[in-house]
Copies of this chain bind each other. A is one copy, B any other.
Amino acid sequence: MRGVERESELGRIDRIRRLAGAPRGSGVVLGIGDDCAIFRQRGATEDLVFTTDMLVEDVHFRRETHRPEDAGWKALARSLSDIAAMGASPRFCLVSLALAPWADTEWVDGFYRGLLRLARREKTVLAGGDLGSAAKVMCDIVVCGSVPRGRALRRDGARAGDGIYVSGALGGSALGLSQLDSSQPDLSKGAGKARRRHFKPEPRIALGRFLREKVRATAAMDLSDGLSLDLRRLCLESRLSAAIGAPPVFPGASLEQALHGGEDYELLFTARERTRVPGTFEGLPLTRIGTMRKGRPGAVFLEGAASTEGAVSLKGAPLPPLGYDHFRKP
């Protein structure tokens, strides 16, 4: 098991949340702790949701392996995925980009081409940003979305007994990344799909709206850091625990990759036990993987699925939150 030598990301976010205090009387109806902040303007019929996500060279992409178009696409897709998780529609984005000395005009144009291709498809206006220089390329994107007043899907709305669901299959991005690291590239069809999953993630905007309007999901979030860590976060916000079985595994990926691999950008959501959740949405499978339970907030138990690799995911044992944490050393 990996050691926790430095304060974890969750711990750091909690510290900042305490320092910041409650956002009283400002129009901010939901602050730190969800996929997006929610802002309510006087007189407006819609709430605005805001998210910000960084893309860092050598953390989220590499100059050698990622085309600039893919880096630009991914930078925006990360934030759009948070908008999808709230059941919102994207409106505009602001892009801050710090350029390393190696990033020439050609690279910058490619980056914006990839970003704007996704932005146009999802009707997201590039409204502004900041340009600067740094030792490594670094991008931070804010997206503003809108959602009918009081109707945003949040992490804190799940109740005991609610079913837990995921869209698609998990572990594909982790598989794609591992193939990238391997010296012998796998040229099979499934491998291509996994690489595509890693390079060009698909934000589930239409699914998010469907979950809000039709399914009336009780809580939702996107899977950016791995199911084990993200479900823990949803449980913490809803002050519940969860019991799950094995999630749907991306073809070729391992159960470990599906449980702990990050950057799948599928949606994790909960719905009332009585809700009939369809098996697919626009061809994308929606799979029930477990149930929200009373119990120690944040605890996730893996049941009915034993891992071949043993210690990490013992049958019926608490699932350690091994998803991606920037501040945990391996």
Contact = CB atoms under 8 A, between A and B. Distances in A.
Interface of A: 7, 9, 12-13, 15-16, 19-20, 23, 26-28, 31-32, 34, 36-37, 39, 41-46, 48, 50-54, 56, 58-59, 91-92, 94-96, 98-99, 105, 108-109, 112-113, 116, 123, 125-136, 138, 140, 142, 144, 146, 326-327
Copies of this chain in its oligomeric complex: 2
Contacts of A138: 98, 134, 138
Contacts of A53: 96, 130
Given A7-B105, A127-B37, A20 B50 contact: no
Given A16-B129, A51-B128, A138-B138, 14 more contacts: A16-B126, A19-B116, A20-B112, A28-B92, A32-B127, A39-B144, A42-B46, A43-B43, A50-B128, A52-B128, A56-B134, A59-B134, A99-B327, A136-B136
A59 B132 contact: yes
Contact of A43 (B45, B59, B123): B45
Contact of A136 (B19, B23, B123, B134): B134
Contacts of A144: 39, 50
A28 B326 CA distance: 34
Contacts of A23: 92, 125-127
A47 to B, nearest CB: 10
A112 B16 contact: yes
Contacts of A9: 131
B52 A12 contact: no
Nearest to A78: B130
